[in-house]
Structure 1
Amino acid sequence: MNFFVNATMPKQKSGIEHAQLKRFELFNNHQVDSRIILRDWDPVAHVNANAAGIPDNQLINMFDYFQEAVTVTPKTLHAQEIEFGVPNVQFADEPANNRYLVTAQNGQLVARVNYDATADKRVRSTELFDGYNNLFRVDHYDSRGFASLIQWYTTDNQIGTETWVTPSGRTVIETFNKKTMAGEFVKSGWRLIEHGGHVMQFDTIEELTKHFFDRLNDDFWSEEQPNVFVLDRSHLGDWGLLRLRKPAYVVMHLHNSHAGDAQDPTHAILNNHYEFAMNALDEYDAVVSATHKQTHDVNERFQPKTRLFTIPVGVVPDRLLQAERVPVARREFGKVIAFARIAWEKHLDDLVRAVGIVHKEFPQVTLDLYGYADPADNYKARTSVEEAIREYGLEGVVTMKGYTTEIDAVENNA
């Protein structure tokens, strides 16, 4: 089996997800079986994966796997179907907040039920309160209609214990949040209760993930044809996949520069996302880069014994190759576009400054930025772009358009 490992499959995808989906489509087109493996818990993973063309029978989420919920017949769960343990509760809809307030006959607040306004008010979560109006529990619901994650709150309103349950309500995973000497809440361990009642304790989610990889490797084990793990986000398995109980063919896929400074790949400090992997290259069966230049740079700096491959991640579908070309004369003069997550490593503020310089001589030039803003450092990258816009007086010239999937139409006018 071919496993393509990622964190989740968000609605707004980065280049890594798009590359992974192109590979997945390629394998399917050639009748080569594969599975998308998602490590992180995500209540709408199946909604987003299905919308991206991944059927449930080719999707395995780690939490689903242990929750016995890889394949579940979906249903839309409404607030009125939930049992709150209090008779004759009343529901008051607050559409502006996408929630119901649930009260007892005496007016006491029992719960807040948050729903998805775009999906027939499907329940997303319930916030439960005690007789003193203290929040003590939050139940998060999978989009397929069952409680999945239950968070228990401490008296000082912190998440103390988190439990993941099966669709029938049996607890299978627990994690415990404890306060450090510095006053921070951190996870102090993971507890897994397997189907037969066997209990396992893990210090970190990386250890739990390694156990999950071992289970997957066992489930699809074949001496004649070893499983292939393609690691698309290194931090999810760069340690665990190198320590599998049984052999497998493990591939590290470099989707970004391995160096912190891409202009100096030979000497610059390593990209922290790849630091472990680049120092353990020879433990992988293969390393894939998207360009011949990066493959050369990796070989030049590390001189690994493992096999290096160059496999481009960009794939142009036939419908685009056969589409009519739009001549420049029919495009909007001066329209510059960029598709990128608004993050510091994209240097979009420099692009704005370049447009600012050009705009002084060619006032027809405009720039549209398509992509979601990275929240790192309190949206520092977006703030830098906004500052560059003000610096050059480009209000109305440079526009942040947000995320789009209509790339063809946008490019054909630029």
Structure 2
Amino acid sequence: MMYYFLNNRLDANSSGIEHAEVKRLKLFKQKGVPAKIVMCEYNRLAHRNLPLYEMTDDDYVNMFDFFAGTVTFPAKVVTVSDLSIPDEYQIREVDNGYEVYNGNRKTMRITMFPNGSVDTIDYFNGDGNHTKQEFYDTRGFKSMTQIYDTADGHLIYEQFYRPNNTVYYETSYEKRPNSYPATNIQLTDTHGKLHSLMNTGQAFTIMLDELNEQDGDEISTFISDRSDCSNVPMINMKTPARKIEHFHNIHFRDFWDPSSPITYPSISNNELLSKTDLVITPSQRQADDMTKRLRTQVPIVSIPVGIVPDKQLNTRHIPMSERTPGKIVAVARLFYEKRLDDAINAFAKAYRENPTLSFDIYGYGNGRDGLKEEKMLKQLVKNLGLENVVQFKGYTQDMETVYNTAELLVLSSRYEGAPLAIVEAQSHGVPVIAYDINYGPADLIQDGQSGFIVPSGHVDDLAAKIKEYFANPALMEQLNEGAYQNAQRFSGDSIWKEWEKYVINA
């Protein structure tokens, strides 16, 4: 039986959900159970990112690759000389690429990947307006073209290509008073049938059904990990399959109120929910809340998402004496829901009494809103005069070094589902002080043994625990060892027993 883990995209700087999926994929492979990660968004860079997660093409299926026939594809380099540029045009080398001219008129702008292969090509008309852009897959073929309205520059049309330059997917956009929504999708499936669709979710359902058909008569299991984009497409599958919704976040609107409106149609709509075979949450507390709220016959169970590899569980314990004195870390996206301003304010209060402390924040900002939260946080640090001791480190793949040198992790989120950073930190002997929120910290931290839980939003309490912790070296050593011990609960074997109980052998 094949297991598919459904999501939207795999980037170099992915979120905790993707990291949880990758950990689960490795666990399934370790136990000899076939599984793949399936993504629904166009991502021409994904195959370059796979090695970052110790994955190969055999572990990954993207919807656009599936329909293009490029799930596996031998990589090649496409150079400027491979492009169809008229001989009379002049090619001028510029930073990161080339510009192409017909006399004095610029016709093209070509950017290159670091390996010397074509990345994108921009085209310009006689008036100098940007008319279209071509995007190349990192494996060396043109995979998508966007065409723009020269009046205001908005996107009006997209075409997606197979390596032989034939089109299999097209999206049309139309101008509305305040937006430019996609109004139609034309998809040619793997059987050559043409579908006229309204959204990518419908295309994803078609892909999942065709993927399921390729597995033959055996019933495959589909596990949706990205609630807002893969739940409903999975539920709408027409072929026989086992369908599991795996939540990684709160399921209601107001983070402080589990009785507030449910945010996902896949569970708020009883008809959709009834087509689901199982719902998984990362914590028992959320499973209990969801069970009380939904009153459904569909089983709702809890399986932790944090999985600690045996290698890490068996590694030498690093005592506080070998760590950077006073080093506090936070591992979180610089987003509103992470409430890092509370962590910074709490640190400021502790730092006034203990100037040996420092605070490193690892995570990326939200480019979609112009890095609003990141800018606010950096201004707060500046206003507090803490620029020399509070550092924004960005996203890093080398979390092992971060955890092995830290003495404390702080988590101040407004809400979570299952913060992987807590499990990862404890597995490296780093105690955690966290807000008591929906959901995660209370399930993952043994209060007083591997860290502390403080009331949500109480900055003074958070600061007091930080001060108490660093004022007591014996307590630090005790919690250091307690963190290592608590991580044993999340060994691969322990988590696998839960998967066997609720999914594999069910």
Same fold (TM over 0.5): yes
Matched, 1:153 2:148: yes
Q: Which residue of 2 aligns with 1:231?
A: 224
- Shifted more, 147-156 versus 299-308: the winner is 299-308
Cα distance, 1:269 vs structure 2? 4.0
Equivalent of 1:247, from 235, 240, 243?
240
Q: Letter of the 1:162 partner, please give it.
A: E
CA deviation after TM superposition for structure 1 residue 285, in Å: 0.8
* Counterparts of 2:371 and 2:227, CA distance in 1: 24
1:91 aligns with: 91
**C-alpha distance in 2 between matches for 1:349 and 1:376:** 20
8 Å CA contact retained: 1:24, 1:34: yes
2:41 is aligned with 1:45: no
The alpha carbon displacement at 1:275 in A equals 5.0
For 1:194 and 1:382, locate their aligned partners in 2 and report how far apart those are by CA, in whole Å: 42
1:91–1:138 Cα change, 3 Å: same
The one-letter code sitting in structure 1 at the alignment partner of 2:185 is W
- Structure 2: segments with no counterpart, 5+ residues: 407-506
- Correspondence for 1:353: 345
Q: Distance in 2 between matches of 1:155 and 1:333?
A: 58
Q: Scaled by the length of structure 2, what TM-score is found?
A: 0.75
Sort the Cα spacing of 1:391 and 1:135 in 2 relative to 1 into closer, same or farther, 3 A.
Answer: closer
Instruction: Map 1:247-326; keep pairs closer than 5 Å.
Output: 247-265=240-258, 267-270=259-262, 272=263, 274=264, 276-280=266-270, 281-326=273-318
> Partners of 1:286 and 1:197 in 2: how far apart?
34
Equivalent residue in structure 2 for 1:396, among 388, 397, 408: 388
Per-residue CA deviations over 1:331-384 (Å, capped at 9, x if unaligned) read 222211011111111111100011011111111121110011123533232133
SS at match of 1:189: strand
The answer on whether the counterparts of 1:221 and 1:227 sit within 8 Å (CA) in structure 2 is: no
Question: 1:194, 1:3 → 2: CA distance?
Answer: 20
With CA pairs under 8 Å and 6+ residues apart, which has the higher RCO, 1 or 2? Answer: 2
After superposition, the Cα gap between the structure-2 partners of 1:240 and 1:196, relative to the gap in structure 1 and judged at 3 Å, is closer
Cα drift, residue 401 of structure 1 = 0.5
Q: How far is 1:90 from its partner?
A: 2.9
User: % of aligned pairs identical?
Assistant: 29
2:484 alignment partner in structure 1: none
Q: What do residues 312-333 of structure 1 show as CA deviations (whole Å, max 9, x unaligned)?
A: 1111122222222111122222
Give the secondary structure class of the aligned counterpart of 2:382. Answer: helix
How far apart, CA to CA, are the structure 1 residues paired with 2:190 and 2:313?
50
Aligned-residue offset at 1:227? 1.2
1:407 corresponds to which letter in structure 2?
M
Matching residue of 1:7: 8
Matching of residue 173 in structure 1 with residue 169 in structure 2: yes
Alignment deviations for residues 207-240 of structure 1 (CA, whole Å, 9 cap, x no partner): 2222222212222242xx4111110101222222
> In the alignment, what sits opposite 2:112?
115
Structure 1, residues 84-141: CA drift from partner, whole Å, max 9, x if none? 3x2243322212xx1211223x34322110112xx32221111122344333221110
Does the Cα contact within 8 Å between 1:229 and 1:249 map onto a contact in 2? yes
Q: Give the 3-state SS of the residue equivalent to 1:239 in structure 2.
A: helix
* CA-CA distance at 1:257 after TM superposition: 2.0
Are 1:162 and 2:158 matched, yes or no? yes
- Amino acid aligned to 2:22: L
Q: In 2, distance between residues paired with 1:5 and 1:44?
A: 18
Other-structure match for 1:411: 403
Superposed CA deviations along residues 272-324 of structure 1, whole A, max 9, x for unmatched, are: 4x354354444311111112222222223223321122211111122222222
Q: Is the 8 A contact 1:73 1:144 kept in 2?
A: yes
**1:196 offset after TM fit, Å?**
5.7
1:1-30 CA-to-partner distances (Å, cap 9, x unmatched) read: 211111111001211011000111011112
C-alpha displacement of 1:168: 0.2
Residue pair 1:291, 1:311 contacting (<8 A) in 2 also:
yes
- The one-letter code sitting in structure 2 at the alignment partner of 1:102 is V
Partners in 2 of 1:246 and 1:4 — Cα distance?
A: 17
Q: Specify whether residues 197 and 304 from structure 1 end up closer, same or farther in structure 2 by C-alpha distance, changes over 3 A only.
A: closer
Higher fraction of helix = 2
Q: d(CA) in 2 for partners of 1:128 and 1:390?
A: 43
Letter in 1 for 2:204: T
Q: From the superposition, tell whether residues 144 and 381 of structure 1 become closer, same or farther in structure 2 (CA, over 3 Å).
A: same
Partner of 2:446 in structure 1?
A: none
- Give the AA of the match of 1:100: Y
Which stretch shows the higher mean deviation, 330-339 or 36-45?
A: 330-339
Whole-Å Cα distance in 2 between the matches of residues 215 and 192 of structure 1? 13
1:327 corresponds to 2:325: no
Cα shift at 1:252: 0.8
Matched, 1:66 2:61: no
Distance (whole Å) between structure 2 residues aligned to residue 226 and residue 293 of structure 1: 31
Contact 1:2 1:228 (8 Å CA) reproduced = yes
Contact 1:50 1:56 in 2 (8 A): no
Residue 124 in structure 1 maps to residue 119 in structure 2 = yes
TM-score if structure 1 supplies the norm length? 0.91
- Cα pair 2:7 2:230 within 8 Å, conserved: no
Q: What is the rounded CA distance, in whole Å, between the counterparts of 1:366 and 1:348 in structure 2?
A: 15
Q: Residue 207 of structure 1 is aligned with which of 181, 202, 206?
A: 202
Distance 1:380 1:152 in 2: 30
* 1:137 and 2:128 aligned: no
**Residues 49-86 of structure 1: CA deviation (Å, up to 9, x unaligned):** 243222212321111111122221110111221113x2
Counterpart of 1:100 (choices 87, 91, 98) is 98
* Cα distance change of structure 1 residues 324 and 196 upon mapping to structure 2, 3 Å threshold: closer
